[in-house]
Each structure stands twice: as structure tokens, then as C-alpha cells.
Structure 1
Amino acid sequence: MSEAREWSRGDTARFLRVPGPDDDKYSRGVVGLRTGSSAYPGAAVLGVEAAWRAGAGFVRYIGEGRAADAVLARRPETVVSPHAVGARVGAWVIGSGTDAASRTVEEEHELRQILAGEGAVVVDAGALDLAADVATASATRAPMLLTPHGREFARLQERLGVDEDADRESVATAVAEAVGAVVLLKGARTLIARPDGPAVAVEAGTGWLSTAGTGDVLGGVLGALLAANPEADIADIAAAGAWLHGQAARRAAGVHDGAPGHPIVALDVAHALPGVIAELLA
């Protein structure tokens, strides 16, 4: 039987606030994204859009080519630059829409610099291998939140040598312990495992959420919440982000009062975020 605590609406509301007269774009949270690629430029757009829609005060995108062009075309408010050196960032999102097999030496060096920094880092997709390497190298590193889906998690398990025969919750916790970081294992029942505490569970808002690009949206949401709550427990932020993501999907798909809803695309989820946040703040 699962021992994971179920995350709630009230739990999530603790990490949201209305900006006050003394706030500026920096105090609301600065998110940096090094995501997307020429092969998958949409991942960059989705993460950036979600970070803005989830309340970030400032969003930086690090990248070039098709991905950078797509980000500026969609969200001209975003500050775009080719390199992360010297960027003022409260929380990072890396790896979404990238492939470790096609990563250049320069890209890897920059990602490792981010992982060796002080700000929290959401590590997704094509950067998960680096998170595992950094964790086992006993080097100074940033606080990390790993966000694998099922197949990525299985590869991470194998890389870390974690037993595959235990139940899902136990395995997630074992991976969190092995990597020394919070692990958000995506699924119909998302699990957030800590390396040193009980797991938390978040029920998916709707099955309509299982469509391409929604994981990129989740990355942007998590980055915005981490940047806005620098002192908060990362596992709690992970759960709050997963809850917001699921509720935005329900809102976008029209799932309510027994209505089964309808198909959505990932941008629909990002667009629904402000409405869900408004309801929590009311």
C-alpha cells in the first residue's frame, strides 16, 4: 500500500501570491531555460510560454537558431541570448527538447556549469544523464529536480544501478536517494520522491494531458514556482507545479461536473494556467 501523501489544492495555494507595490520583475522570479533544439524548437516555446503564464517576472532563454527564433516570435518579452554566462537567474530549466546523443561539447560544458551553480535546476529529458553524472561525482552542485517520464526513468534507473523489482514508489525513492535530488516521476499518478523523506502523490488532472509537449509545459511551470519561492522545499514546489499543471489541463479540456472533456494540445495547458492561479488566489 502506498505511503505517499496526497497533495491538495490548499497545499498548492501556499506557493502563490499576488504581487505587491514593492515587487518588480526580479522579485517575482527570474527563470532561465536552456531547452529546445533545431530538431525540437517547440519544446523551447512551450517551456517559455508556461513560465510566463505561471507568473514569472522575467524569463531568459538561452539558445540559438530555430529554437531562439521561435521563442522570440511567440514571446517577444523573453530575453534571448546564446550563452548562460553571467545571466541573472533564480531557477533553471534544462534538457527539454534535447537529445544527449547530439549534444555538442560546448553545450555540455554550459549545462554542467548550470548544474554546478547555486540556483535550483529542473532537469528534464536530454540532460538527465548529466544530472546522474554530477550526482555521483561528489562535486559541488545545484539543488536539482529531475522530471523523467517512464522510459527516461527506466534509463536513469539502469544508469544508477537501482533495483527494478520494487514497487513504483520505492523505486522512485531509491533513485532520489542515489542521485541526491528530488525526483518527479510523471504519470497518471505523479510521484514526487525525496532523497530523505516521504513521497508525495499528485493525481493527474485528466487523461487528455497525455499528449506531446505537456512535459515541456510542466518544466516551465516548475521553473516559475522555484524562482518565485527560493526558500521553499523543492519537493513541495514539485508537487505544487504538478497540481497546477493537472488542473490547467482539466480546465483546458473542459473536464468538470462529470463532463468527459475533449482533446487539447500542450499550449492549451499553458494558456489555462492563469485562470487556475486566479481561482487559487481568490
Structure 2
Amino acid sequence: MTDSTSSDYTPWTPDDAKAWIAVPKDDDDKYSRGVLGVVTGSNQYPGAAVLGVEAALHTGVGMLRYLGPDRAADFVLHRRPEAVTSPGRVQAWLLGSGIDPDTLDGVTTDRFRQAAESGLPLVLDAGALSLRERTDATVVVTPHFRELARALGKTVADVANDPAEAAARTAGEWGATVLLKGHHTYVASPGGLRLVAASAPSWLATAGAGDALGGILGALVATHADEIAGDEDALARLAATASVVHGLAAERSSGGGPITVLSLIDALPATIAELLR
């Protein structure tokens, strides 16, 4: 594999992202619009589950099944009673946000196994990054610099000094699409597609922002299952679209000042509406 630099990456713009937003048709129902299965959050970090679920629902899915730990499920249902907490069919999985891989509980471990064996597209964050080694499914991983450095056995400086190269090399070695989070978000597919999104304000460097990004991406993946099955690079385009939407919603909610993640999430519908216009 040849080395990649930032110049090898094509900017992914709001106009590009617009084409990857699924708009419901008149004859759609909650199943045809896409169902996302979510296993995120933990007893230590139940808020991560709430943020990911909120972001996915504000991005647009027909149904969301939250199948994480009971404490996190209580928080999710308190905030979003439309979330379903019983197993059933889904089109994609969002796994790992707010989960410490060293303290997995039995429910989470079992759900991870079921998702890995489902053959459905997987969005893997934080505590689920290693699941890529135990599945034949199509995978996108969404690490930040520290998580990727830990997974690769490198220092954070190694990744931060050349994130474009780190994303591209990891995609080749892992056989997975990589979304490497940062002010410039680099997306690399195993097939060689390289995209970069740069719509995020610096205020977005805040706790919980990655949980929201995972929810946005999970929703986009669930609503584009057919495209993913027919295009090996669709997952990379969806990942870049999630980053653009995430950044634009942050810009809208910030207005030039500090951001809370829930305010970013609240801005998602208007952000998407503006993109579609």
C-alpha cells in the first residue's frame, strides 16, 4: 500500500452530502424507512446511549431498537419513549459508544455477538472497535485519535501528526471503512476512496460530540442498506455525509459560541432541511 497524504483526499461538501439523505416516500412505513439497532452506553456512561439515540432519531429513521444495558435503557426511554427495547429486525447496527471494552457486561457482550453474526452493516465506536475482527459484515469504525492510537499500539502523536495517512493505512489493514474524527474528519475505504469533511467549528471539541456523530451515521446507514449492499464505497460516502451534517448542525447551534451536544442534536432537522433545499 502506498502512503496517503491529505492531498489524496477529496473534500466532501454539503452538496455532496445532500444526495445521501434519505427522504421518505409517500408509501414508506416505519420498516421501509430503516430500523437501527443500537447497543451503546453502560452503567458508567448511560448518557452516551441517550445522545446517540437522540441524534439518530433527529436524523431520521423509521424505528430505533435500543438493546443496551437496563440502566441506560431507562435513561433512553425517559428521554425517547418511541424507542423500542425489544429485539427484532433491523437494517444496521450502532455499537460501542460509551462502553469500556475492559468492563463489558453480559447483555452487551451477547448483543455484540448477535450483531457481529447478523451480516448487517455495523457502525463501531469506542468499546466495539475490536468487533471488526469477529465479523464478516460491512464495517465502518469511528475512532478519535486516542482510540485509534490505542487500537494500533501507537502514540496519540503518531496519529495526530498525519491523520490522513493513519486513516488510509488503517482502512487497508483492517478491511474496514475508517472515519477518523477531528477538526478535519478523514474517511478512508478499504477500496481506496478518500474523503475529507471540514464543516465542524472548533467549539465541537466537547464531550458527547462523538456519541452524536455515531447516532447520525447509524441513522444514515440504516436508511441506505440497499445502497451499501450494491456499492462498496457507499459506507464511506455515508460516513463523510454524517460528518458534514454533524458539523453544520454544530455551526447552526453554536452561532459562534459554545455548544452543548443536545443543542447540536436539536439543530439536526433544520440542518437537514436546509441541505435538502
Structure 2 runs not aligned, ≥5 long: 229-233
Conserved 8 A contact 2:193-2:236: no
How many positions carry a matched residue from both structures?
263
Per-residue deviation, 1:156: 1.7
Are 1:220 and 2:218 counterparts? no
Per-residue deviation, 1:105: 4.8
Cα distance in 2 for residues equivalent to 1:217 and 1:80:
20
Amino acid at match of 1:179: W
TM-score (norm 1): 0.88
The aligned counterpart of 2:272 is 277
The DSSP-based 3-state class of the residue aligned with 1:73 is helix
The aligned counterpart of 1:33 is 38
Amino acid at match of 2:206: T
* Pair 262,142 (structure 1): closer, same or farther in 2 beyond 3 Å: same
Are 1:21 and 2:19 counterparts? no
The aligned counterpart of 1:58 is 63
Conserved 8 A contact 2:39-2:111: no
Amino acid at match of 1:213: G
Alignment RMSD (CA, Å): 1.8
Conserved 8 A contact 1:117-1:141: no
Cα distance in 2 for residues equivalent to 1:225 and 1:54:
8
Amino acid at match of 1:237: L
Cα distance in 2 for residues equivalent to 1:66 and 1:108:
16
TM-score (norm 2): 0.90
Which aligned pairs between 1:130-145 and structure 2 lie closer than 5 A? 130-131=131-132, 133-134=133-134, 141-145=136-140
State which of 153, 162, 166 in structure 2 corresponds to 1:158.
153
* Pair 165,126 (structure 1): closer, same or farther in 2 beyond 3 Å: closer
Per-residue deviation, 1:155: 1.2
Identity %, equivalent residues: 48
Per-residue deviation, 1:166: 8.2
* Pair 265,192 (structure 1): closer, same or farther in 2 beyond 3 Å: same
Cα distance in 2 for residues equivalent to 1:152 and 1:75:
29
* Pair 167,264 (structure 1): closer, same or farther in 2 beyond 3 Å: closer
Per-residue deviation, 1:209: 0.8
Q: Deviations over 1:3-38 (max 9, x none)?
A: 100001111010124322111111111111100011
Per-residue deviation, 1:164: 6.7
Conserved 8 A contact 2:22-2:224: no
Cα distance in 2 for residues equivalent to 1:66 and 1:165:
35
Conserved 8 A contact 2:249-2:268: yes
Are 1:187 and 2:182 counterparts? yes
State which of 10, 28, 46 in structure 1 corresponds to 2:15.
10
Cα distance in 2 for residues equivalent to 1:129 and 1:12:
29
Conserved 8 A contact 2:20-2:238: yes
The DSSP-based 3-state class of the residue aligned with 1:197 is coil
Amino acid at match of 1:68: A
Are 1:203 and 2:193 counterparts? no
Conserved 8 A contact 2:59-2:219: yes
The aligned counterpart of 1:234 is 235
Per-residue deviation, 1:129: 2.2
* Pair 217,156 (structure 1): closer, same or farther in 2 beyond 3 Å: same
Conserved 8 A contact 1:213-1:266: yes
* Pair 217,164 (structure 1): closer, same or farther in 2 beyond 3 Å: closer
The aligned counterpart of 2:231 is none
Q: Deviations over 1:22-71 (max 9, x none)?
A: 11111111111100011100000001001100011101100232211000
The DSSP-based 3-state class of the residue aligned with 1:44 is helix
Cα distance in 2 for residues equivalent to 1:69 and 1:168:
37
Cα distance in 2 for residues equivalent to 1:56 and 1:28:
6
Q: Deviations over 1:140-180 (max 9, x none)?
A: 52111100001001012228xxx979832222111111111
The aligned counterpart of 2:90 is 89
